[in-house]
Amino acid sequence: MLDEFTQGGNEPYDAEHPIYFPPELVNQCPQDTKITYHCYLIELKQNFNYDIPAHDIVLAVRTELESEIKKVNFDLEVDRGRLTVNLKHLGKIQLTPDKVLLCRRFQIALFRVIMDHNLDKLNEILKGLRLRDNLEIDYLLLPASEQSIDWEPVASLSFPCDIGLKHHKNCSTMSNARVVQTKSGPLCTCMIHNSVVCTPHSGQIYYITGVLGHLNANSLFTRNDGGAITYKKHYEERYGIQLCFDQELLLNGRRIFHAQNYLSKCRQEKQREPVKISLTPSCVHNLYGFAMSLSTFYSFHQLFGGSGMEAIHYKGSVSNMYSRIF
């Protein structure tokens, strides 16, 4: 059998080389069986000024990384400057299959948002994931808090069908919470906060950071040509939309960071700054609750999207680490 691997230009068998098994060749584990993951903290030090700080990320893998990879430390040249990356071993953790599925949903949702900018596609992917039994996966990438997994945003991912007044329980943490009319129906502002939404009229997706307590659709804003116009008139002239709930307070949104294909020859050298925008609640749709900060989106984007991945791709042992993981 070993002779077959030395023929046809393949490398000779090395007994000391780590053995990796494709997930599809691993037997399905019972629901009550816990799966062991080796956890590593990806520490991110931001060596430039920006209003959104980078947060650490936890990498959890089924097979322990080689000793030389555990000591990885390198600098990445990203869009805004230099990002120092350090890998630190945290230890082992055991997760139930249900917990692994929860992590997978979060991980897929996060990457699909920054890669596709299409919540309809995300809905299809997550719906299909619910129907699968294959929970064997080699790695998990999760937000970190105090050198451990931050479970709150992972567990808080909610789907559009799960968000609504019938699921509303408590908004005591937001003293100014109120019900607003969205394209998906009436929602409490406490449920919109820290959510990802799309605006069908523009085809964009945004992260909602809060409510603008002093602005509504009748408020004026300055256009690019210097002229002033109300939000209501702007929506009517540009999109042909008649706003029926013009007294609703506007939402404070920020366009999500978009990961680029680093292999594309035609991509721009530098992305434009994510736009801050005031949104009318009645024009937002397909809300996904993440209960995490914009910094988490930014950190994953910096490390795994755009120029970050391009820099990683060309760094010897670092590239080897990513080939092991991905």
Please write the tens of the pLDDT for every residue from 150-177.
Answer: 998 898 876 655 555 555 656 655 556 7
- For residue 91, is it within any domain? yes
- For residue 296, is it within any domain? no
Q: Residue 227 CB: number of other CB atoms within 10 A?
A: 8
Instruction: State the Cα–Cα distance between residues 211 and 75, nearest whole angstrom.
Output: 37
- For the stretch 101-118, pLDDT in tens is 889 888 888 888 888 777
pLDDT for res 233? 94
pLDDT for res 95? 92
C-alpha distance from residue 60 to each of 83, 241, 282, 295, 321 (Å): 21, 47, 40, 20, 13
- For residue 123, is it within any domain? yes
Domain containing residue 205: CATH number: 2.170.260.10
The verdict on 192 and 264 lying in the same domain is: yes
pLDDT for res 258? 74
- For residue 198, is it within any domain? yes
The verdict on 81 and 134 lying in the same domain is: yes
Residue 206's domain spans which residues?
Answer: 160-289
The verdict on 201 and 243 lying in the same domain is: yes
The verdict on 130 and 67 lying in the same domain is: yes
The verdict on 262 and 321 lying in the same domain is: no
Total domains in the chain come to 2
- For residue 2, is it within any domain? no
pLDDT for res 314? 39
Q: Rounded to two decimals, what is the model's pTM?
A: 0.75
The verdict on 100 and 196 lying in the same domain is: no
Buried residues in 267-305 as b, exposed as e (16+ CB within 10 A): eeeebeebeebbbbbbbbbbbbbbebbbebbbbbbbbbb
pLDDT for res 13? 63
The verdict on 176 and 217 lying in the same domain is: yes
- For residue 11, is it within any domain? no
The ranges of the chain with pLDDT < 50 are: 1-8, 131, 133-135, 262-269, 307-326
The verdict on 263 and 318 lying in the same domain is: no
